[in-house]
Amino acid sequence: MGTQNTRTQTKTRARRRPRWAALAAAAAVTLGTGLVAAPPTHAAEDPVEVVVDGDDVRAENVNGLTYKGLGVLSCNSTTNLLMDYKAEHPERYWQLVRVLFGGGNPLVNHVKVEMGSDTNTSTGADPATMRTRDELADASRSPGFQLAADAKTVNPKLKVSILRWEMPRWVQLEWNKGTGTDEMYRWYKETILDVHEKYGYMIDYVDPDKNETRTPDIPFVKWYKNAVVNDTDFADERYGIPARAREAVARAYHRIKIVASDENNTLNMGPAMLSDADLFGIVDAAGYHYTTEDRREGAVDSPTYLPYTKLATGDNTYGQDKEVWYSEGTGSFGYTDYRVNNTEGPDGASTGIGGVQSALDIANRLVKSYANSKRTHYIFQPAIGSFYEGAQYSHKELVSARDPWSGHLHYDAALYVMQQFTGFARTGWENDTNTAGIWRTVPEASYSGVSGTENLDGSNGAPSYMTLADPGKKDFSTVVVNDSDQPKTYRIKAENLRLGRDRTMEVWETRAADAGQRYDANFKRLADEIGPGADGAYTYTVKPRSITTLTTLDRSADASTKQRLPESGERTVLDTDGSGKRGDTRDTYLYADDFAYEEEGRVKVGRTLQPYLASRGNQPRYMVDQTGAWEVGGDGVLYQYMDQSMKDTGAWNRNTPNTTVGDFRWENYKASVDVSFPDPEGGLAALGVRQQKGMSISDAAYNLRIGPDGAWTFYEYGTARARGEVAAAGGYRLAVEAKGAQVTAYVDGEAVAVYDDPTPQTEGRVKLGSDFHRTGFDNLKVETIDGYTPYAGAQLDNMDSAIAYEGAWSRKASLGDAMDWYRSTSTSATAGASFTVPFRGTGVDVIGGNDGSAVLDVYVDGELVARDSKTAVADKRLATYTLRGLPEGKHRVKFVLKSGTLVLDAFNTFSASRTAGGRADTAPVRRALAETAAPERGAYTAASWDVFARAAAAAKSAVAGRAGLDTVGAEQLASRLRTAYEQLVRKEDAAR
């Protein structure tokens, strides 16, 4: 038999006692581990035997084995742009809320909010709800609380929890002295009560400790719980609680539960709970991060041997079960629809929806973290990626929501994989009377032998399965993950279950498409219906690289189970009129913001309507903060408020304040903004352009900085290229214009620096920055430049199915770098290897981190247009080769590697459909034509002449006024003409 019952004690579990102090005197019981023995060694073709025994379904275990499903973590800017989706495309936002939180089988049952401190603790900064001790708490600054309020409209039973990583300076000053418990409590309490007053719900769980601590602060956890239980102060006018509501608020507040300690791999809280009766009674849920494993130290009956398993099963000294969470884990890395084109399988085959860091990897994390440490809740960090790409840890989510102006949302196939768990069980938290019917996990019918503890590799073909059953023992579902290249047969035998007369089992499957099928053809589909054999066992062979749910539920006619995820929609570039609100591709604006938002209407929050700025805690539109307190003041000016009194808070990524806005595809534009210095202690203001990645002001490729004394510095990234002074003033109008390789900085309309970059970064967003002084920003404008195409119209990933590869290529997605688009790259060092990019437009950029060794031949629509073209040394997300100046239309550009190594990440394409006013400057083309005039055709080889003739014809067409040509394209035509002229080969030389 593949599994066996290792429990030696009675299944009767003690109900939780009302006073945790009594636990110290609890009688000792015989300890069991709740472990599941590994299936015996077997050949790959032998079936995996699983016994689902109704006697193993522990209906009385209401905390540890109830399957709570999935959660989403909102923190460090990951959900910032969601509020813009809500304002700009409310129908798409509320559809997202329904997809994630709604329905009879919600995918997500919990929103966890990591309270911000205006500092960057990962991908960016979330605002502090209280920046000073005396400031009234404002939970509306943090998008997570509002997301939870909106989720509760479709899932009223949704749980909400909070924790901290760092803390506001006023708390930290006292905390560092060892006297800050009151300040910490005040910050928590006033935030919790403000959430209640603004959104109408009470926080369910609090972790009082620091996120990812290695040394749990057990004294403070105890102190905090005692403070919550004994707090009687709800009348303070700061809380804004009406007298008639105070008693009810107090009751709800006193019911707040404790989760601890959000460790990352150290696993100290479990043993502490088993060793300390008081702590055991206080902590309701034990959570930790980024490992599937329990702790295994000491004797079997020691608190350091399988402590979390003992907590979850109730097989412990106290005879009570506790919740155990995977309280922070990743989503799938990259986009599944791209990574299916990898070559990481045997003999260069694809791993489909599987492989390390794939959707199946995440599924295995759910299974293995349950099998090995009995965790029944997995919280994604993040489930929703709603911050700009290029920040740390991008592309590891289930839903990508990064273009609120377009409404584009990418729903990854990993959602279907997760629905294989949540769609075939009743998930959530059991109620006080144990009548909610939440399904129990069954340890004896769950196991995982895949490799790894965080990034899981299922290619070893080991069994990996988890069983969920309803507490009434009428139905069950076994979820099987096969992330290997071989099929695997399972035999599932049901015993002591009340399955009824119809014992049919449905088989629901998610895997990659077969040849000739559409991409999602095999996502969450009914693959089969099977009955038991003569011996009562259900036998099914699970396909390679798939997840399969075998369930006794009848879902074949259920519309919600068959529901497909919404289409992503077009990912259009940010291009508005002068209001910044309405799309307009015909004027000279790309974007503008006066921070007054008079054009905005009211916004739905939960079940209420609120004014635009009030609904979002005065946070500006489309901006993602990396560091600092960025907020619109009552005078309609954007201020960075984090000053000298607030600056020395902890941060993982320590930077001066900066925020990002715009589209990564913007290329040639002029950004300008008014800056002011209301802080009498000083100040500095910065404006940057062409930011692609990174989280500081110096990550904008070109940035201008100035102080109230008039001293300015112009930087390329963090290197000063020019300095100077203007008259001291209380404010200035800053501008940076980037067109092609030339960048010009302006102060109050006067050019103060011109820089011609020999290796330019050509595309990216706008950044605003300051130092730690209150600084004002107003009237932001991003405008086009005459004669220059303002942006790339589209991007294709290197793994996009439209890209055709020939020859030897390594196409990798597993363990990919976050600075590569979608964490994937295609690499070749083999001469003759080629790739073909189809597009409509006038040019294409080849993007990828490269050493400049690659030499290419370039064919456009079958004709060689550039021979032995050198690539540039390029950082990630930057262009290593650009091809511009083509006639507008459909093209297929083929690149052939002649020598060197080439790394491909993505391809940006350009079109004449959005050209700036004015004609392109064709003077470089005219000069090139003059320099290369009248070579004698008969003197040169046909091959070299053909390339030259095509370049000359294109140059002459440009001079004649070809429609759609921009200045960058004209410069490239001139360069290609000169190169083709230099590469002409005389016949007598070829004959030697």
Taking only the tens place, the pLDDT of each residue in 133-153 is 999 999 999 999 999 999 999
pLDDT at 515: 92
What's the Rg (C-alpha) of the chain? Answer: 31
What is the strand order of the sheet 48-53 is part of?
48-53, 488-495, 537-542
For residue range 292-317, what is the model confidence (pLDDT) as tens digits? 999 999 999 999 999 999 999 999 99
pTM for the model stands at 0.95
CB atoms within 10 A of CB 327: 32
Average pLDDT of 775-795?
97
pLDDT confidence bin for 12, thresholds 50/70/90: very low
pLDDT at res. 14: 35
The pLDDT of 818-831, averaged and rounded, is 97
Q: Is the pLDDT of residue 27 over 60?
A: no
233 burial (CB, 10 Å; 0-12 / 13-18 / 19+) is exposed
pLDDT > 90: what percent of the chain?
A: 93
- Reply yes or no on whether the pLDDT at 618 is more than 90: yes
Q: Return the pLDDT at 4.
A: 32
- The residues, any chain, with a CB within 8 Å of residue 764's CB and separated by 6 or more, are 662, 664, 666, 689, 690, 691, 692, 700, 701
Decide if pLDDT at 94 tops 50: yes
Helix pair 143-152, 181-199: axis angle to 10 deg: 40
Among 35-49, 102-116, 269-283, 367-381, the range scoring the smallest mean pLDDT is: 35-49
Quote the pLDDT of residue 44.
58
- pLDDT band at 380, cuts 50/70/90? very high
SS3 421: helix
Asked whether residue 31 carries a pLDDT value surpassing 50, the answer given is no
Mean pLDDT of the chain: 94
If pLDDT is split at 50, 70 and 90, which confidence band does 992 have?
A: confident
pLDDT value, residue 778: 98
Closest of 461, 550, 561, 566 to residue 504, by C-alpha: 550
Give the pLDDT band (50/70/90) at residue 5. Answer: very low
**What pLDDT score was predicted for residue 43?**
57
Token pair for 170: 């006023």
Confidence of residue 918 (pLDDT cuts 50, 70, 90): confident
pLDDT tens digits, one per residue of 381-440: 999 999 999 998 999 999 999 999 999 999 999 999 999 999 999 999 999 999 999 999
Does the pLDDT value for residue 853 go beyond 90?
yes
Query: In this structure, which amino acid lies at residue 164?
Result: R
648 confidence band (pLDDT: 50, 70, 90): confident
Confidence of residue 46 (pLDDT cuts 50, 70, 90): confident
E strand or H helix that includes residue 85: helix 82-88
Asked whether the predicted pLDDT for residue 914 surpasses 80, the reply is no
CA pair distance 727, 746, nearest whole angstrom: 14
**Predicted local distance difference test score (pLDDT) of residue 11:** 34
Confidence of residue 944 (pLDDT cuts 50, 70, 90): very high
In this structure, what is the dihedral angle of CA atoms 571, 576, 579, 580, given to the nearest 10 degrees?
40
Residue scoring higher pLDDT (395 or 914): 395
* pLDDT at position 58 over 50: yes
- Looking at the chain, the whole-number percentage of residues with pLDDT higher than 70 is 95
Average pLDDT (855-863) is: 98
Q: What is the pLDDT of residue 990?
A: 86
**Looking at the predicted structure, is the pLDDT value of residue 915 above 80?**
no
Q: Encode pLDDT of 703-735 as tens digits.
A: 999 999 999 999 999 999 999 999 999 999 999
Give tens-digit pLDDT for 504-554.
999 999 999 999 999 999 999 999 999 999 999 999 999 999 999 999 999
pLDDT score of 606 more than 50? yes
Statement: residue 36 has pLDDT above 90: no
pLDDT of residue 299: 98
Listed in sequence order, the residues at least 6 apart from 179 whose beta carbon sits closer than 8 Å to its beta carbon are: none
